[in-house]
Structure 1
Amino acid sequence: MSFAFKKFNFFQQHEVKIHGFPANSTCHCLGGSLLYVGCDNGTVHLLDEAFQSQGSLSAYGHKVLFIAWAPARQLLVTVGLEEPGISTATLKVWEAERVATAAATAAAASSAAAAISALPQPAAASAAAASLPPLRLHKLFSSKHPESEVTALAVADDGSAAGNLLLVAVGLAAGAVHVFSGDVSSQKGKLTHTGKLQVRPDSGELWKVNALVFAAPQQQQQQQQQQQQGRNDASNKDPAAAAGGSSSKIAALGRSTPAASGGGACESSSSSSSQQATPGQQWLYVVTEAQTLGFNMADMSKTILDQQGLLASGCAVLQEGLLVVARDDALYEYTPETRAGCTAFEGLKQGLAKLRRYLVVTTDDTSPDGAASSQLHLLDVRNKLLAGSFGLQGLAAVVVGPGGLATWDKAGRLVRYFEVELSTQLEVLFKRSLHKLALDLALCHDADPQLIAAIRQRWGDHLYAKAEYEGAMAQYLETIGSDLEPSYVIRRFLDAQRIHSLTRYLEQLHAAGLGTADHTTLLLNCYTKLKDVGKLDAFLHRNAGSSSSSSRGPAGGVGGGAAGMAVLAAAEKAARRHGKGGKGEGPQLSFDPETAFKVLRSAGYAQHALFVAEQAAQPEWILDVLLEDMGSFPEALAFIGLLSRRQQAQALQRYGKLLIGAAPDDTTALLMALCMPGPESQADHTGDSADAKADAKFVASVADYAQLYADRPTRLLYLCEFILFNSGEGEVPQEQQLYHTLLELYLAEQLVDHELQEAAAGSAAEVAPQARRDKARELLQRGWQPHMAQPKYDPEHALVLCRQHSYVPGLVLLYDKKRLYREVAALHMQAGDYGSLIAACVQYGDAAAGGDPQLWAEALEFFCSQPGDCSSAISQVLQHIEQGELLPPLVVLQTLAKNKNLKVSIVKDYVARQLQMEGKEIAKDRDTISRLQAETSAMKAEAAKLKSQPHVFQSSRCAASGQALELPVVHFMCGHSFNLRSLGESDRECPLCAPDFRRVLDIRRNMKAGALKPDEFFSQLDASADGFGVVAEHFGRGVMNMTQQSMASQGAAAGAGAGALGQL
């Protein structure tokens, strides 16, 4: 035994008490889910995975020598003797399905018969062998092919044989191999002898064929690649090893799984032969007593692989694409071209079998006293692992069946061998600190990725405890993407002395796309602490590609004297992705850009922060760096100009104060363009998106930026004027706010920019106040023109501003627009401007023009209350009052009497004219009274005549139609006559005189109704300047003729009438 193998007890024995393994077995093979066992009586037994009999087949008359399985075609190939003597050796091919069916049927019949006859079960089973004709049959020996002992059998059925041919090789003790082929897929196909391979050496008499193995080089190459990959895995070079967890998961996740493919280990190798294998060719390994050979079945060419062979049969298998030959000193591996290597394992070999990735090696362990004894070894060659060793007495056969490995001894004992669970194996390895072997073993078992990661974690913890930090980090790196929290690793390496290892871990974490914002922060802090600009650049450029080589040189700085152009170039790239009518779609970075940006800025890496902002297509971040960190105001303004209009508006709202302080003219020019419709709004946007169309039509409001000009009001003035006077109707948003801002600027007492004030000491920088105030009145007129239904500004707000700044022209204009004429007059009164007051009264005191005549009365009151000489003004006011008959003379005289300094000469002419006019009115009234009295007397006389004397109706025609009167006729006392048919059914009054009569009644009714409202009388009396006129008017309505009783009755009548009207 070699000390290169580590010994473990990973297999356990279990004796099978009841089984169907025949005692007279000669050969066996695994075929699908059954084990086929040939016996010396010509019978083939079928056993399941529990080694229980599933029936038998009578294949030969004498003895079964060899059995082989063709998996692709599900065929069973046997070689046996029909009679004693080698001359009857026959090759037969069976359909496995038919064999299994026939054997099961025969076994069932035999069981039924045994139950009836009460025969012992072995006897019944022996009688139950099924008889079935083979699919193909061929006698091995004839006159052309001399007889020789059959020593080996091999079948090629892996799909690489030409067409549908089945290749069968039969080895002989005479040093020859017979090759048979045939089409077994059709009924007419035959199995024919196609060749004879001579395997005798050039010298010597050792030529017996002890092993035959078919192999396809293409499969071998694939197996070798998998072998090399497995070795890389074992060397911790597999970057895909993922997943992990705590060591407690091993017991839960570790369970036995099918073995992984891979190559065996080798300790030495020989030079390869000149002949090379071609994919698709079929090769046959032949191991004789003296040599190991390889035959290309395409041309039957021979390659001597080794000048050593096998002295015992059954010590060669095909393992993972390589021929493994077990000699007493070692296990040798071969390819079709040469020997591939060997693994030292001493002992007299009795047999070799394959169980998944294990080689089952049987060695002779006979003691000196002569007792027959053997040792069963299970070798994992790849991992140099001896999984189990068992001493056996009287070993008869080693069987690899569907249920795993078993041994059969001469005493009839059948022992099965079970591999313990993977978790148990791993715990054993962990106790011995064999973490690498544990990892290799788990990889061979195709273990769950979580288990692989748990092993790596334990290995890393072990190395970390031994202060092997680099090795520990190498294992922790392989757990990235598993259940192992990154914080577990990070906490262990948060030390300045291990910052390089921590940096490696964080880099891999981000490369796997698993880095969080906190991880990004930590990684960037590591870079900045190490001052490793190169790695910082590499990290930032990882996903940027060639298109992202923006503004920075190799060291991350802005290149040369073209800093401004370089920064602008980076800004333009971000603007192209994130501006001009669309949403930005930057590259998908492997880290959190916002976190990286903040960390780089705080660490003073402005250029790197700018790069991150550009890659993330974040205009706000770019402007933060350009303005706050680099002070690149021209580049920032140029970048803002490249953005979409909405983004420009947002950027100026955020950074406008800073930009105006550094570049007021350029910033104001940018705002002018933004607050007015751009050329894009008139362009054709048929193919653009809805967002692009909306952005092209976006116009910013000046009101949103007015606060930015707190220290530079003159530029705000120019901005407002430019936008207002250069925009069309309805093009300016929030136009009212624009008017308010501009008006306030016009009315300001001082308008000085901060920098001009510092340079010119205040007064020299002042914009002419009077010129601004003149513009204020023009602005008010512009915003409220006669044809406008509503003003473009808020009149109340404008009034407040004008009052606040004592701007009289503006107040006058606004009062005029609002028809507040008395406020205009009061304004002039307050200012003591007599001329303007009289002009205002002339303009607004004409009732015919919609004015307020009461202004003259107020003006007269004002002038009479002044202490100075206002004779001229009073004369003008009296003239207008007299012309318009605005006030009763008595009221005028009472008002004039308040001014003690007023001369009588001023009012003498006025009094004379008023007396003359009053005399004319009295005379006129007397004439009217006389006329009305005469009419009243005549009416009274007529009424008395109607009451006392008959009335003669002399009209002969109808007053309505003009036709002759015909009975029936209706006569009215007014003298009108009508045919009855000309009147309505409800007419009880003369249709011609009724309107005048009703008018008189309405006048009378209104007079009486007015007399019933004393409160209205007294209120009019208090409000009127001519109280006598009010009293006279109400006397005329008969208010003094109404007694208290008559007023009550009239009120009741009025209420009844109102109720009737309400019912109607």
Structure 2
Amino acid sequence: MSFAFKKFNFFQQHEVKVHGFPANSTCHCLAGSLLYVGCDIGTVHVLDEAFQSQGSFNAYGYKVLFLAWAPGRQLLVTLGLEEPVISTATLKVWEAERVTTAAATAAAASIAAAAMSSVPQPAAASAAAASVPPLRVHKLFSSKHPESEVTALAVTDSASAAVGSLVIAVGLAAGAVHVYSGDVTSPKGKLQHTGKLQVRPDSGELWKVNALAFMTPPQQQQQQQQGRSGSEPKAPAAAGGGGKIAALGRNTSASASTSSGGAGEGSTDPQPAASQQWLYVVTESQTLAFSMADMSKTILDQQGLLASGCAVMQDGLLVVARDDALYEYTPETRAGCTAFEGLKQGLGKLRRYLYVTTDDTSPDGAPSSQLHLLDVRNKLLAGSFSLQGLAGVVVGPGGLATWDRSGRLMRYFEVELSTQLEVLFKRSLHKLALDLALCHQADPQLIAAIRQRWGDHLYAKAEYEGAMAQYLETIGSDLEPSYVIRRFLDAQRIHSLTRYLEQLHACGLGTADHTTLLLNCYTKLKDVEKLDAFLHRNAGSSSSSSSSRGAAGVVGGGAAGMAVLAAAEKAASRHGRGGKSEGPQLSFDPETAFKVLRSAGYAQHALFVAEQAEQPEWILEVLLEDVGGYPEALAFIGMLSRRQQAQALQRYGKLLIGAAPDDTTALLMALCMPGADAQAQFGASDEAAADAAFIASVADYAQLYADRPTRLLYLCEFILFNSSEGSVPNEQQLYHTLLELYLAEQLVDHELQEAAAGSAAEVAPQARRDKARDLLQRGWQPHMAQPKYDPEHALVLCRQHSYVPGLVLLYDKKRLHREVMAVYMQAGDHASLISACRQYGDAAAGGDPQLWAEALQYFCAQPGDCSAAISQVLQHVEQGELLPPLVVLQTLAQNKTLKVSIVKDYVARQLQMEGKEIAKDRDTISRLQVETAAMKAEASKLSSQPHVFQSSRCAASGQALELPVVHFMCGHSFNLRSLGESDRECPLCAPDFKRVLDIRRNMKAGALRPDEFFSQLDASADGFGVVAEHFGRGIMNMTQQSMASQTAAAGAQAGGLGQL
């Protein structure tokens, strides 16, 4: 193929004023950060990156012909002459580290010697070549191998032979290639001649070998690259050939760094040959490839090279520079060519560039050459330089350099990538700028910036499709998607915008806003097919498994029934019944997609998204609010877990009850009762077991039945009367709701009112009120420690609805008997009031007799004739002496209709009873006076007359009294040994004395507490008796001081009675 190169000045030329490159160089090779240069006097110079000499060593006695580098083993291979005859041609292998160190040491010694003498430094340096013994030496020619001019050299140290083997190929002018190999690093290893390759053509006499190159398999090249940076090199290297100007064998930097088995761009696929080692041979008339496995030969081209130095390995291809073009070869065939005319002098490789030197001498002018730097892949000429008297081109560690016959050294530096890109942007060569950045392995953000500029350029030219193609490649970079989206929104390029948004989602970078915009694009385009594809493609594997049953029907516009069946089936299998869900597998924001599709009217698509996102509430939103599929919604809810059912009914229960009240109520009945599979969850996960045991509370759904109280009544009755003890959650609220429904004046459902059938459906109010009392008794049975409902709340409801049986029952349970009577009083139920007094006013049964007094006051205060009731109550008041007669008379006087006979009989009975009490009190007074007089006489006798002790027995032990004896005034005598040391009172009489003193002390202490006096006075029916009792205790004449003095005197008196 032929094309024109685009010309640029991407290289700059600089002269190296001071350098150590020898003017008599014959060959060179790059070895990492060093450059080895062979000379025509047999020495090898070592140069650094700045082309400064680091020393030299003697390699041959006459001339160095070729140098080659084996990077895997860090070996330098040289081929030279010991004498000016070809028979002395010798191969030598050197340890690079050893010779470099020796050369540097010798150079340092020479510089030190030069500093001490007047010898100029160059002369001293040239005389300071080190002498280092080679690792291996092998003479090329013998009786078996006739002499011939050596024209090319190639080396690899990672052939298909044993690991560590070094393989050397030597090309001869006689049309033969000798192959040597051996493990030269082993102490006993040596180079051996392993083969001779005949490369002469079938006809003609042009057979001189002008170039050799090894092609390394890709896996071996990778090992080679690892070996360069590691401690155990394993990778191969290729070497070169002869010639004056940058021959393949001389520029081993190119062969060593690019010999690979991978084919470059524009070549045919070389994979079949990439698994073995190949040797390329270029003669004057042919281009050949030899397999190193079996030495088989392949003729690649019937053209060769008439001069050496015009072949190089690049990207796994052999590149041969002929006067008309650059040809590329694989081990099987010619891969292609690039037209580049000119009389070629040399060819080499600098990174991705090929440098070509051509003869530019005019017929009547001085010798002149042109140096071209070609980027064949990107079809650009990166630089061209005219050189006078060119002697050679070298690729050193510091880059490309040329030297002329005058010894001047010129270096060439590539300008920065940013500068190159700016030049290309100015010429609108964005494609080339992109390729160039890719070749430089630029940062991804720089690549994206180039594509952005390219896209902007195409957008400005109204090439929207091309611009979008570039913007698509920037996804994932620093370029904000909003930049692209805004542009294509302004231009109304909705199709291109759709592509961009689709790619954003495909890369997982789509936000909720991007999803919204993309779905809006689909809906505006009415592209249902793309919308379906987007939803299915981004739904992951979950959609494909059900596409034939439900999901495809949903998106394709199937009926709502089919949609919900598919959704319900998936919901039950993934997360229904308390199971764990695998989670949604959507690459976009499902909530945003769902909202957009609903707002655009794509209900079935929204239903599909909801199902894929495993969002039951979204499915119900579509079914109930958009589609109106109430039966399907109920069926779907029934397949969810119990907790999800509860949540769904709380949100949509009002709507469902309005559309399907019976089915919805049945679902609630099942949800508010223990689940049928609760016992079958043994061994299930904790989450599944908890869901199976979940029971909803009716209180959470009572508000849904605001227009249908009858159904709420049936629901509450069903749950309460069909549940086991303690299995209903929030049972108290259930009792409250049901009680309120029972006590309601009227219960009529809304739809029955509209159908004029309210009277037929209404439960009789009296029947409901009877159920209310049963409900209250059921919730507060005698064996219960606490009621199942709140009594205070129940009282409020009963009082609100004037439900007397409920009030009486609750007050009775709370033992608030007066409140019970107040209820009967308020209701005017006299018979019940008297019955309550009999029930709660019996003191023998633990009742409160004062209730009769309160009842008497109530009846007497009534305006009507209550004589019969008053007679019954008055009888109980009189029997229990509940009120003083005077108070009774005052109370009876309030009733103006009361008969005098009732009062007369009562007064007569009271007077008779009072007379009997007076007589009894007089007898008691007389008896106490006699006892008091006797006590006073005894006390006087004890205090004024002697007392004779006549006891002869100890009162404690019954033994005869023996001195010492203790006699007490009470008449008891004791042996002293029978008493304790501290006994000062008679042990027999002391407890009685102490009890009397305690009673006296307590009576006087009580007299000093007026609050207790008044409380007893208020609580007693006989207030006069309380006052009399406290007067007897001395309440009117007792103070704190008198109490203390009397207590002390009483103690002294008691002690005196008990002492000797």
TM-score by length of 2: 0.89
- Partners in 1 of 2:185 and 2:23 — Cα distance? 35
The answer to whether the aligner puts 1:630 opposite 2:640 as a matched pair is no
Paired with 1:615 and 1:1012, the residues of 2 have a C-alpha distance of: 88
Conservation of the 8 A alpha-carbon contact between 1:379 and 1:385: yes
Mapped to 2, the partners of 1:169 and 1:856 lie a distance apart of 137
Q: Which amino acid aligns with 1:13?
A: Q
Aligned to 1:490: 485
Name the CA distance, whole Å, in 2 between partners of 1:980 and 1:102.
132
Partner of 1:79: 79
Residue 427 of structure 1 and its aligned partner are, at CA, apart by: 0.7
Give the Cα–Cα distance (whole angstroms) in 1 for the partners of residues 1005 and 89 of structure 2. Answer: 150
Partner of 2:134: 134
**Structure 1 residue 541: Cα displacement:** 2.0
Range that drifts further, 110-119 or 1049-1058: 1049-1058
Matched with 2:657 is: 660
The letter for the 2-side match of 1:393 is Q
**Match status 1:363 vs 2:345:** no
Matching residue of 2:64: 64
1:915 aligns to 2:915 (yes or no): no
Q: Structure 1 residue aligned with 2:410, among 407, 415, 433?
A: 415
CA distance in 2, matches of 1:1054, 1:389: 140
The verdict on how the C-alpha distance between 1:266 and 1:866 changes in structure 2, with shifts beyond 3 A counting, is closer
Distance in 1 of aligned mates of 2:1018 and 2:176:
151
What amino acid does structure 1 have at the position aligned with 2:466?
G
Q: 2: CA distance between counterparts of 1:694 and 1:260?
A: 69
The answer to whether the 8 Å contact 1:260/1:357 transfers is no
Amino acid at match of 1:135: L
2: CA distance, partners of 1:259 / 1:1054: 130
1:391 to 386, 398, 412: 386
Measure the CA separation in 2 of the matches of 1:62 and 1:1049: 147
Q: Is the 8 A contact 1:1011 1:1034 kept in 2?
A: yes
The answer (yes or no) to whether the contact 1:50–1:403 under 8 Å persists in 2 is: yes
Aligned-partner residue type, residue 82 of structure 1? E
Unaligned runs of 5+ in 1: 224-257
* Residue in 2 that maps onto 1:340: 335
Greater alpha carbon shift after TM alignment, 789-798 vs 372-381 = 789-798
Q: How far is 1:962 from its partner?
A: 3.2
* CA 194–683 in structure 1, closer or farther in 2 if over 3 Å, else same: closer
Tell me whether 418-427 or 573-582 shows the greater mean CA deviation.
Answer: 573-582
User: Taking structure 1 as reference, are residues 525 and 823 closer, same or farther at Cα in structure 2, changes over 3 Å only?
Assistant: same
* Contact 2:949–2:971 (Cα < 8 Å) also in 1: yes
- Tell me the CA shift for residue 462 of structure 1: 0.6
- How far has the Cα of 1:837 moved from its partner? 1.1
Matches within 5 A, 1:751-830: 751-830=747-826
What is the one-letter code of the residue matched to 1:731? S
- Change in CA separation of 1:556 and 1:709 when aligned onto 2, cut-off 3 Å: closer
The answer to whether the Cα contact below 8 Å between 2:312 and 2:320 also exists between their aligned partners in 1 is yes
Deviation of the 1:912 alpha carbon: 3.5
Pair 1:891–1:218, CA change in 2 (3 A) = closer
Closer, same or farther: CA 602–1055 of 1 in aligned 2, 3 Å: farther
2:787 match: secondary structure: coil
Q: Which stretch shifts more, 998-1007 or 798-807? A: 998-1007
Tell me whether 1:502 sits opposite 2:497 in the alignment: yes
User: Hey, what does 1:117 align to over in structure 2?
Assistant: 117
Measure how far apart 1:198 and its partner are. 3.1
1:573 aligns with 2:570: yes
Q: Structure 2 residue aligned with 1:602, among 565, 584, 599?
A: 599
Give deviations 1:361-401, integer Å, cap 9, x for gaps.
00011022131000000000011110000000000111111
Distance 2:830 2:347 in 1: 135
Amino acid paired to 1:295:
F
Name the counterpart of 1:542.
Answer: 537
Alpha carbons of structure 1 residues 159 and 32: separation in structure 2 relative to 1, 3 Å: farther
Pick from 642, 645, 658: which aligns with 2:642?
645
Query: For 1:451 and 1:390, how far apart are their aligned partners in 2?
Result: 30
- Cα deviation, residue 123, structure 1: 1.9
- The 5 Å alignment of 1:894-933 reads 894-933=890-929
Give the letter for the 2:863 counterpart: P
Deviates more, 1:982-991 or 1:365-374: 982-991
**SS of match in other structure, 1:541:** helix
Once residues 975 and 717 of structure 2 are traced to their aligned partners in structure 1, the CA distance between those partners, rounded to angstroms, is 83
User: Could you list the runs of 5+ residues in structure 2 that have no partner in the other structure?
Assistant: 224-256, 1053-1060
Could you say what secondary structure the match of 1:573 adopts? helix
Match of 1:18 in 2: 18
**Per-residue deviation, residues 513-532 of structure 1 (Å, max 9, x unmatched):** 11111111111111111112
> Do the aligned partners of residues 94 and 879 (structure 1) sit closer, same or farther apart at CA in structure 2, a change above 3 Å counting?
same
Distance 2:327 2:206 in 1: 20
Q: In the alignment, is the contact (CA less than 8 A) between 1:537 and 1:555 conserved in 2?
A: no
Partner of 1:878 in structure 2?
874
Displacement of 1:902 in angstroms is 2.2
**Paired residue secondary structure (2:518):** helix
Counterpart residue number, 2:706: 710
Counterpart residue number, 2:431: 436
What code does the residue aligned with 2:336 have?
Answer: G
Shift of 1:1031: 4.8
Matched, 1:892 2:882: no
Structure 1, 770-779 or 123-132: larger mean CA deviation: 123-132
- The DSSP-based 3-state class of the residue aligned with 2:392 is strand
Deviations for 1:896-943, whole angstroms, at most 9, x for unmatched residues?
233232223334444443333333333322322232233233333333
Give a deviation string over 1:25-72, Cα, whole Å, max 9, x none: 122222232222222212222212211112222222222222222232
Q: Compared with structure 1, are the counterparts of its residues 988 and 720 closer, same or farther at alpha carbon in structure 2 (3 Å cutoff)?
A: farther
The 3-state SS of whatever aligns with 1:304 is strand
Residue identity matched to 1:641: G
Q: In 2 relative to 1, CA 953–495 (structure 1 residues): closer, same or farther, beyond 3 Å?
A: same
- State the Cα deviation string for residues 149-201 of structure 1 (Å, max 9, x = none): 22222223343456654333322333333333334233333333343333333
Equivalent position to 1:330, from 325, 328, 338: 325
**1:50 corresponds to which residue?**
50
CA RMSD, Structure 1 to Structure 2 (Å): 3.2
Aligned twin of 1:283: 278
In structure 2, distance between residues paired with 1:647 and 1:745: 28
| 389 and 893 in structure 1: CA distance in 2 versus 1, 3 angstrom threshold | same
Letter in 1 for 2:456: D
Equivalent residue number for residue 732 of structure 1 = 728
Change (3 A) 1:158 1:921: same
Secondary structure of the residue that 2:79 maps to in structure 1? strand
Equivalent of 2:611 in 606, 610, 614? 614
Alpha carbons 1:559, 1:566 under 8 Å: kept: no
> Contact (CA 8 Å) 2:554, 2:562: kept in 1 or not?
no
Equivalent position SS for 1:284: strand
**Separation in structure 1 between the aligned mates of residue 663 and residue 603 of structure 2, nearest angstrom:** 25
One-letter code of the match for 1:734?
A: N
The verdict on how the C-alpha distance between 1:788 and 1:965 changes in structure 2, with shifts beyond 3 A counting, is: farther
Confirm or deny: 8 A CA contact 1:332 1:341 kept in the other structure. Answer: yes
- Amino acid in structure 2 at the alignment position of 1:950: P
Q: Does 1:849 align with 2:845?
A: yes
Instruction: Tell me, in whole angstroms, the C-alpha distance in 2 between the residues paired with 1:1054 and 1:740.
Output: 65
Q: Deviations over 1:87-141 (max 9, x none)?
A: 3323333332332233223223322332333322222222222223333333333
Shift of 1:86: 2.4
Q: How far apart, CA to CA, are the structure 2 residues paired with 1:516 and 1:191?
A: 67
Superposed counterparts of 1:965-1004, under 5 Å: 965-985=961-981, 987-1002=983-998, 1004=1000
The alignment status of 1:1050 with 2:1042, answered yes or no, reads yes
Contact 2:538 2:588 survives alignment (8 Å): no
User: Which deviates more from structure 2 when the two are superposed, residues 1004-1013 or residues 840-849?
Assistant: 1004-1013
